[in-house]
Amino acid sequence: MCRSTLLLLLAGALASLAHATDETRRDPTKPERWVPRMTTSVPFERPVLSSVLVSAGRRLAVIDGQLLGVGESHGSFRVRSIEAERVVVNVAGEAVVLHLDVPAMSKELR
Query: Which pLDDT score is estimated for 101?
Result: 72
Look at residue 1 and tell me whether its pLDDT is greater than 80: no
Would you state the pLDDT for residue 4? 76
d(CA 67, CA 50): 10
In 3D space, the residue among 65, 54, 94 whose CA is nearest the CA of residue 78 turns out to be 94
Q: What distance in Å separates the CA atoms of residue 86 and residue 97, rounded to the nearest whole number?
A: 7
CA 87/CA 99 separation, integer angstroms: 7
pLDDT digits (tens, 9 = 90+) for 41-83: 556 678 889 999 998 889 999 999 999 999 999 988 999 999 9
pTM of the model: 0.53
97 has a pLDDT exceeding 90: yes
Amino acid at 43: P
Secondary structure of residue 8 in the 3-state scheme? helix
Q: What is the pLDDT of residues 5-53, one digit of tens each?
A: 877 777 776 666 655 554 566 677 766 666 666 665 556 678 889 999 9
